[in-house]
Structure 1
Amino acid sequence: MSKVVLITGGSSGIGKSIGEFLTEKGFKVYGTSRSPERYTSSKFPILKLDVKVVSTISDCVQSLLEQEDRIDVLINNAGVGITGPLEEIPLEEMKSHFDTNFFGPLEVIKAVLPQMRKQHSGLIINVTSIAGYMGLPYRGIYSASKGALELVTEAYRMELKSFNIQMTNVAPGDFATNIASGRFHAPVNENSPYKTAYGNTLKLMDSHVDSGKDPKIMAEAIFKIISTKNPNVHYKVGEFMQKFSVALKRILPDKMYEKLLLNHYKL
């Protein structure tokens, strides 16, 4: 019997690549979008879901269960970027960001857990980011939201163990997607003390995304995880140096690691 997979944010970017790859592998894939009517040519069904609106989450899960009567895999992929000097990002934008990248995924998890407990099986994959392992300049809120999801996953895994429900994190590096176009960018203000440093860092971040790897690499990694009997707590997918940066943070003294980041961002 084909496994039923639900992918939030499955209409574009990494989510779309994962959905298409798993569909080719014989999975019954359902993606989500706030505006599913825009994706009538998708290779798998797109259901309506906005991670910031709880009613759409419950409606989506109920609709899926009416069609399939089970959910084997949830891939919490929906997310947004945010950039800016921490001093200048409006508080409401910070809260909105956490609603999408942290609280939204938690609500989707809550919606699927009753069915997974009923099945006494299930796998939840939270797509985080290598940026969640370190506080990056002008990406501090993004790092914080992804890092929070990483830590919550560690706790959730232990709470779900007795129900035979598995959970893991997959932290991608830079991939060639449209994430930059969907970010909240604090404006580069002419009178800001951060004008030059933030403007240069923003250009560097965008160049990383533009030269990023093919999202299919993430899809292949997700497929391997689903095919693994006992998934690890954390996975990292990306360039060698991006993954190695996480290991360096564990090894190097804090100030030495901070200096590496300062040099990388030319700050």
Structure 2
Amino acid sequence: MGAKMKNILITGCSSGLGLALTNLYLEKGYKVFGISRNKPKIENENFFFKAFDLSKIDIIKKELTPFIKEINNLDTVFLNAGMLGEIKEITKLSTKEIQEVLNLNLFANKELLDILATIKVDTIVGISSGASKKGSKGWGSYSLSKSSLNMLLNLYAKEMINTKLFAIAPGVIETPMTDYIRFNIDDEIFTSAKILKDGEIQKPFEAAKRLFQALERKNKFESGSFFDVRKI
């Protein structure tokens, strides 16, 4: 394949959906560039890793611009790194706690998009959530951050006219985050936890495959739009 190998960039590549996407694209013969705090146990000559904590938003441009600009031509970027924040009533949630979630789920992606806007990128996917559209009790920080991410990608789509940008909800995935909700949250108080327990839970590799298949139909969707893989 040589020079024809396509480049993929994935944030939060060390676990969950990010790790599953990394493995899927490597299996399909892509070059994968990964950014996360911890290096996944992947031995592959087409995997290029940069260790970085994306919650350090003030130094993202300084630390990651050289790594990203060197790739220069990206087929697909997955802005996947994120956090849930604590499940609790919004009245008991401090602005500091909300800010922590916004830093990683929203502002880190703003910094990354600024870098990506300076190079050739075909498609950028922000990993969103059904929680971005539905306000459920207890999910305050997460819902605020993901609804803001949807709008952030919509706004960048107006300026990055040669790139397709999407906010995509991948469905519920079996990860430490959803395990925490399913096994530690009182579903009498937070009814959304019961819905999660009773609903469909995908293995990360299943979610990655669904996302890959959804992107094969990306030309059906307008740049800047949100969609849920379960509803297409």
Q: What TM-score, normalized by structure 2, do the two folds share?
A: 0.81
Give the conservation status (yes or no) of the 8 Å contact 1:176–1:214.
yes
In structure 1, the gaps of 5 or more residues are: 189-194, 245-267
Match of 1:213 in 2: 202
Secondary structure of 1:123's partner? strand
Deviation at 1:151, TM superposition (A): 1.9
CA RMSD in angstroms, aligned pairs only: 2.9
Render the CA deviation track for 1:152-195: whole Å, top value 9, x for unaligned: 2222212222xx11111111221111224688xxx99xxxxxx9
CA 223–29 in structure 1, closer or farther in 2 if over 3 Å, else same: same
Please give the per-residue CA displacement for 1:130-154, whole angstroms capped at 9, x wherever unaligned: 1111111111221111111112222
Compared CA separation, residues 208 and 77, structure 1 to 2 (3 A): farther
Residues 124, 166 of structure 1: 8 Å contact kept: yes
Alpha-carbon distance in 2 for matches of 1:219, 1:9:
14
The alpha-carbon distance between structure 1 residues 229 and 84, as it changes in their structure 2 partners (threshold 3 A), is closer
Task: Verify the 8 A CA contact 2:61 2:112 in the aligned structure 1.
Answer: yes
**Alignment partner of 1:138 is 2:130:** no
SS at match of 2:73: coil
The total of aligned residue pairs comes to 220
Match of 2:227 among 223, 231, 235: 235
**Matched residue of 1:45: which SS?**
strand
Between structures 1 and 2, the one with greater helix share: 1
Q: Secondary structure at the match of 2:156?
A: helix
Does the aligned pair in 1 maintain the 2:166–2:226 contact within 8 Å? yes
- The question of 1:112 aligning with 2:110 is answered no
Structure 2 gaps, min length 5: none
Question: Are residue 204 (structure 1) and residue 208 (structure 2) matched?
Answer: no
> Which secondary structure state, in structure 2, belongs to the residue aligned with residue 72 of structure 1?
strand
Per the alignment, do residues 196 and 177 of structure 1 end up closer, same or farther by CA in structure 2, a change over 3 Å counting? closer
| Shift in Å, 1:205 | 6.5
Give, as a single letter, the amino acid of the residue that structure 2 aligns with 1:144: L
Q: Percent identity?
A: 24
Greater gyration radius: 1
